[in-house]
Amino acid sequence: MVHVATAQQPKKKKISYAKWGYIFLIPFFVVYLIFTLYPQLLTIGYSFTETYYDLDPIAGSHWEGPRFIGIENYITLFTPDANGEIRILKYLGNTMIMWVICALPQFIVSLLLAVIFTSNRLKIKGQPFFKTVFYMPNVIMASAFGLLFFELFGSVGPINKMLISMGWLKESYDFLGHEVSVRTLIGLLNYIMWFGNTTLVLMAGIQGIDDSVFESARIDGAGAFRTFFTITMPLLKPIFLYVFITSMIGGLQMFDVPQILTNGQGTPNKTSFTLVMYLNQMLGVKNYGISGAISVTLFFFTAILSIFVFKGITKDNKN
């Protein structure tokens, strides 16, 4: 094509289109620099300062700082409080526990569903229906879902009434007042929102595996479980790794559901308080120094956990 073009129109031969590559990338980079990179640098910068809005009743409310204080904010974050707890690690722990409550059943069920849907033997009917229903919770507003659960599981909510009328409970149970039940509810809600998505992704992964591999396993007489653990899982590993890491990163950023369900309090006793809720709280009271340090710490937690998981799974693969 190029050849023909230059032959017919020799004048255009010298035209280089390379500059258009830069021109078309201008919007992306201008917006990236202003709305992403600059805020990121600003965040990192603030993490080394003392900056907060002082609600002084005598001198009047006013801004303090920014005053450069080195890594003092980070030291504050990792210093145990009066109860001997390092809060940010406690909230990291809360976040990870609630993620595991959601992710563990999610991975198992989604793997099962993906295998079931792709099975040549079972030939499941009504797949479009099942896929639509399973994926639907994912498009629903997490905050609406959170509020829905708040109303459902309240002490005068429908679930309590139902359990009492069925005789399973004598008096209403305070689902939102107990550590285990609040964490389980948050995990359950996240499970409902995400298992359909994970199923679809894993299904696509299984469909991407060459049929001939299954064929040779068949000829070798491998059983169902053996095929799953020696063929499907190893070949699915890259996709599973992708699912695992994106789910974990998403889990670390958990916010909407616990925020709405516990009204930003992480009840009871901050046991369902997540890292981003902590960040949100500090931004709310306009303590920008600590907020910056929390943001940077959150970034490092994310990066370290991702690398850890990635290394762990790929290493396992070699052995």
Partner 1 sequence: MENTNNVAAVKSKPQGNSKNTAAHIRLIIEKILVYVFLMLNVFICLFFFYILIVNSTMSKDELQGVFTGIPSTHFFDNLKSALNTADVDLPQATWNSFLVAALSAIVTTYFSALSAYAIHTYRFKGRKFIAGFILAIMMIPSQVSSLGFLKLCNQMGATNQLWVLIIPGVAAPAVYFYMLQYLQATLPLDLVEASRIDGSSEFRTFNRIVLPIMKPALAVQGIFSFVGSWNNLYMPALLLTDDDKKTLPVILANLSSKAHSQADAGQVWMTILIAIVPIVVVFLILSKQIIKGVTSGSVKG
**Residues between 54 and 93 with contacts to partner 1, criterion CB under 8 A:** none
* Token reading at 186: 């948050």
Point out which span in 72-80, 87-95, 191-199, 311-319 binds partner 1 (CB under 8 A).
191-199
Least separation in angstroms between residue 100's CB and partner 1 is 19
When asked if residue 302 is in the footprint of partner 1 (CB under 8 A), the reply is yes
Residues 16-35 that bind partner 1 (CB under 8 A): 17-25, 27-32, 34-35
Residue that the structure tokens 């722990």 belong to: 93
What gap in Å lies between CA 198 and CA 110, rounded to an integer?
Answer: 6
Q: Which is nearer to partner 1, 17 or 168 (CB)?
A: 17
With CB under 8 A as the contact rule, the residue among 89, 169, 209, 217 that binds partner 1 is: 217
Least separation in angstroms between residue 57's CB and partner 1 is 23
Q: Which residues, at least 6 apart from 136, have a Cβ–Cβ distance to it below 8 Å?
A: 196
What gap in Å lies between CA 248 and CA 229, rounded to an integer?
Answer: 23
Point out which span in 5-13, 82-90, 93-101, 311-319 binds partner 1 (CB under 8 A).
5-13
Least separation in angstroms between residue 268's CB and partner 1 is 14
Per-residue binding string, partner 1, 99-128, x by CB under 8 A, is: ----------x--xx-xx--xxxx-x---x
What gap in Å lies between CA 133 and CA 136, rounded to an integer?
Answer: 5
Residue that the structure tokens 């009917």 belong to: 125
Least separation in angstroms between residue 84's CB and partner 1 is 28
Backbone CA torsion sign across 240, 194, 109, 217: negative
Q: Which residues, at least 6 apart from 137, have a Cβ–Cβ distance to it below 8 Å?
A: 145, 192, 193, 196
When asked if residue 8 is in the footprint of partner 1 (CB under 8 A), the reply is yes
When asked if residue 222 is in the footprint of partner 1 (CB under 8 A), the reply is yes
Q: Which is nearer to partner 1, 80 or 132 (CB)?
A: 132
Residue that the structure tokens 């696509």 belong to: 204
With CB under 8 A as the contact rule, the residue among 158, 177, 234, 312 that binds partner 1 is: 158
Per-residue binding string, partner 1, 34-53, x by CB under 8 A, is: xxx-xxxxxx--x-------
Point out which span in 53-61, 86-94, 275-283, 310-318 binds partner 1 (CB under 8 A).
275-283
When asked if residue 137 is in the footprint of partner 1 (CB under 8 A), the reply is yes
What gap in Å lies between CA 110 and CA 18, rounded to an integer?
Answer: 46
Strands 49-54 and 62-68: antiparallel
DSSP 79: S
What gap in Å lies between CA 55 and CA 61, rounded to an integer?
Answer: 4
